[in-house]
Structures are given as structure tokens and as C-alpha cells.
Amino acid sequence: MRLDEFIENFADLFDETDPDTIQATTRFKNLEEWSSLVALSVIAMIDEEYDVEFRGDDIRNSNTVEDLYNIVKERVEIE
């Protein structure tokens, strides 16, 4: 699992946000398009792409895209 692939998968969830503006340090909750629906899409994407159980608390406790990635990476390595 690579950070750049995770960022690409994350950016694909947005319709109106330029994918090039989403980086590891992006504070995703500050994105204009961020919503509870996108949050659910993030959870579904992580489950589908990485087979990792991800919860709303994981999103609430994260600030950047890299924070999300690190949680997923840790859980992938444990399994």
C-alpha cells in the first residue's frame, strides 16, 4: 500500500474538487465538498480497496489525508 495510491483513491471520491489539490497534508474536513456522504464514501472505499474496517471515529480523530492513510496502513499490516 502506497500513500500516492491512497491519495488517488481518496481524491476519486470528489466530483468537483480538483484531484491535484488533494495532498497528504490536505485537511480534508476543510474541503468545500466534504460532507457526511463523502465520509461514508471514504469508509466504503477503504473497506473495498484495502479490506479494512474503518469507522466514523477514525475520520473524526483524523485531520489530514495522511492521518487516514496511517490508520489504514497500520490495520493492513496487523492482518
Question: Nearest 5°: CA angle at 18, between 17 and 21?
Answer: 105
Residue 70, domain member (yes or no): yes
Residue 21, domain member (yes or no): no
Residue type, 79: E
| Sign of the dihedral through C-alpha 42, 26, 75, 61 | negative
pLDDT score recorded for residue 1 = 86
Residue 72, domain CATH: 1.10.1200
Residue 51, domain member (yes or no): yes
In this prediction, the residues of the chain whose per-residue pLDDT falls under 50 are none
Residue 20, domain member (yes or no): no
- The total number of structural domains in the chain stands at 1
Residue 15's Cβ-side half-sphere holds a number of Cα atoms within 13 Å equal to 4
* Residues spanned by the domain of 46: 3-15+27-78
Residue 22, domain member (yes or no): no
Residue 34, domain member (yes or no): yes
Residue 41, domain member (yes or no): yes
Residue type, 12: D
Please say whether the beta carbons of 46 and 54 come within 8 A.
yes
pLDDT score recorded for residue 79 = 60
